[in-house]
Amino acid sequence: MTSPKTILLIEDDREISTTIQGVLGSAGYNVLDAPNGIQGQKIIESEDLDLVITDMMMPRMGGFPILEFLARREDPPRVIMITANEGGRHKAYAEMLGADDYLRKPFAMDLLLDSVARVLGLNEAEDPTPGRPKRTTKKKS
């Protein structure tokens, strides 16, 4: 039996983080959390992650530098960016940097769960343990 999918949540708002961790944990995912991009980078370097969910705007280091950091990795995890920002340019930039999905806050937790399952390649009949392999990108010089 394979182990549950591991998700890193990088979110500075403690209430939002706690809610998302609870929802994802209840759905069977293994959830790690970081309050900012600096802590998130440390976890990315030390853990084998299937998915990173990152806020865009955070103190110390936001979501865009996280996407840039992940783009340089040989086998990056999938990424969902979450934000309260409504700018279309930000969404386009996030997608250009490799975000697999982009959710605007506030969002329903069902929408988040659907996005996570879609990005991880799980269908509705599956639980979080199986799924497709992570995407691979070429390491940038």
| CA nearest neighbour of 79 among 64, 99, 93 | 99
Give the pLDDT confidence score for residue 16 in this predicted structure.
96
pLDDT per residue rounded down to tens, the chain (141 residues): 568 999 999 999 999 999 999 999 999 999 999 999 999 999 999 999 999 999 999 988 989 999 999 999 988 999 999 998 877 888 888 998 999 999 999 999 999 999 999 999 975 444 444 443 444 443 444
- Phi first, then psi: what are they for 9, rounded to 5°? -105, 120
Domains in the chain, start-ordered, CATH in brackets?
6-120 (3.40.50.2300)
Give the pLDDT confidence score for residue 27 in this predicted structure.
96
Which residues have a Cβ under 8 Å from the Cβ of 70 and sit 6 or more positions away?
A: 44, 52, 76, 77, 79, 98
Is there a contact between 4 and 29 (Cβ–Cβ < 8 Å)? yes
Give the pLDDT confidence score for residue 133 in this predicted structure.
40
Give the pLDDT confidence score for residue 6 in this predicted structure.
97
DSSP letter for each residue of 88-118 = HHHHHHHHHTT-SEEEESS--HHHHHHHHHH
Give the pLDDT confidence score for residue 100 in this predicted structure.
95
| CA nearest neighbour of 120 among 27, 72, 51, 64 | 51
